Amino acid sequence: MATQKKIKYPVGVQTFSRIIGEGYLYVDKTALVYELANDYDYVFLSRPRRFGKSLLLSTLEEYFRGNRELFKGLAIEQLETEWTSYPVLRFDLSSANYDDIEVLRNKISAYLTRMETDLEIKPEKELGDRFMNVIIAAYKRSGQRVVVLIDEYDKPMLESLHDEALHTVMRNELRGFYSVLKECDSMIRFAMLTGVTKFGKVNIFSGLNNLIDISMMREFNEICGISEDEFHKIFPESVRNFADYNNLSEQEVWESFKSFYDGYHFSRSGADIYNPFSTLTAFKRRDLGSFWFTSGSSDYLIRLIERHPFSLDRLEGACRSEQELSDISDMSRDIVPLLYQAGYLTIRGYDAVSRLYTLGFPNREVSQGFWNSLAAHFFRPNSMRCS
């Protein structure tokens, strides 16, 4: 076996400064970061879990802080000339189990407390008032408008979908908190919220009508994940290592990775996207596996399927409009938009006459994992015995 080149794969590493500083492999998205940061003010992005949303926000944070040295050799170095430093307020709602409204309040409060300490201001009673005061203080101290980054904004609502009363309380709390962005518009340079889902009809953003949803825009199809071109440009050495270790041809490896991990589309047209978590994990472990599917719980899907019957045989080839795919407010009628936003279905085609998207499973990892998880729950061994 040939000596293999050591490559550091950033599996589970979501901090841009660490990836650059510690020599991890990095798929350069900074040209898109520059376009996003300079052409838009308020942005929403929906992508499946473990698709690089946190890394994207971390990259934006370092860019807006003006940390030019981290971007040496990357595309953005040739695009940016000023490197202005802005105050950045970042929230991450991913790391908690939201089974009670106080969990959400305490999570947000912890972030605000740290910011208030840094800015040397006294906290108010209400979360919204505290958030506003933090923005005002950061703006006055720096003399620059503020950048607000909120990761996994929807996790509290997604985890409470099975409990209508709790879901309503979560939604109202978040609506009041996010409404501060509109009130502080003159002091905000850029704001971005990311999540798995978009609760469009519940108006959680409370009149923030200049919030641009880039989730299905062609120019940002590749902002998270690994495109077909990026895969072939960046991973030849990884493919050779994988092939040598598993006694396969390089062509077999290319084809296997495409079959298992490629196939995502987030716009009407554009490049195929590989699942970044599964792709990097497979190269690191030198093995193919359902890494993305098994890395998170599908319990909320099971609960929804139990509560809202729908025809499973109509998933492959399902057709929906862009408006339907962008909103999961009414899952009692249709669960397909949630499956799309969560990454279990993807765009397969678009008809310009009907303005409908055709959906399907993106790859073998997802289709096999989805059906196996349903079978394991609904068809337990004791119910499958022959009489």
pLDDT band at residue 1 under the 50/70/90 scheme: very low
Residue 350: count other Cβ atoms within 10 Å of its Cβ.
16
Q: How confident is the model over 120-124, as a mean pLDDT?
A: 92
Buried b (16+ CB within 10 A) or exposed e, 239-254: bebbbbeeeeeeeebb
Tens digit of each residue's pLDDT (9 = 90 or more) over 267-279 = 998 889 999 999 9
* Spans of all domains in the chain: 28-220, 297-378
pLDDT recorded at residue 5: 62
**Mean pLDDT score of the chain:** 89
360: three-class secondary structure by DSSP? strand
pLDDT band at residue 210 under the 50/70/90 scheme: confident
Percent of the chain with pLDDT over 90: 69
Position 192 pLDDT exceeds 90: yes
Residue 235: count other Cβ atoms within 10 Å of its Cβ.
23
Return the minimum-mean-pLDDT range out of 175-179, 255-259, 301-305, 317-321. 301-305
pLDDT recorded at residue 233: 97
Return the minimum-mean-pLDDT range out of 97-111, 131-145, 257-271, 315-329. 315-329
Tokens 């190269």 locate to 283
What the block records as the tokens of 71 is 């971007």
pLDDT recorded at residue 229: 96
CATH of segment(s) 28-220: 3.40.50
Q: How confident is the model over 167-192, as a mean pLDDT?
A: 92
pLDDT band at residue 371 under the 50/70/90 scheme: confident
Rounded Cα distance between 320 and 333, Å, is: 13
Return the minimum-mean-pLDDT range out of 148-157, 160-169, 205-214. 205-214
Rounded Cα distance between 46 and 196, Å, is: 5
Rounded Cα distance between 329 and 380, Å, is: 31
Tens digit of each residue's pLDDT (9 = 90 or more) over 239-263 = 999 999 999 999 999 999 999 999 9
pLDDT band at residue 158 under the 50/70/90 scheme: confident
pLDDT recorded at residue 186: 96
pLDDT band at residue 383 under the 50/70/90 scheme: very low
The DSSP code sequence of 281-312 is HHHHHTS---HHHHTS--HHHHHHHHHS---G
Tens digit of each residue's pLDDT (9 = 90 or more) over 68-103 = 999 999 999 999 999 999 999 999 998 889 999 999
- Residues 238 and 281 sit within 8 Å (Cβ to Cβ): no
Between 6 and 145, the higher pLDDT residue: 145
pLDDT band at residue 338 under the 50/70/90 scheme: confident
Neighbour order of strands in the sheet with 88-92: 88-92, 146-151, 188-195, 42-46, 212-213
pLDDT recorded at residue 142: 97
Q: How confident is the model over 33-45, as a mean pLDDT?
A: 96
Position 311 pLDDT exceeds 50: yes
pLDDT recorded at residue 255: 98
Position 202 pLDDT exceeds 70: no
- Residues 228 and 271 sit within 8 Å (Cβ to Cβ): yes
Indicate the pTM of the whole model: 0.91
- Residues 235 and 283 sit within 8 Å (Cβ to Cβ): yes
pLDDT recorded at residue 347: 96
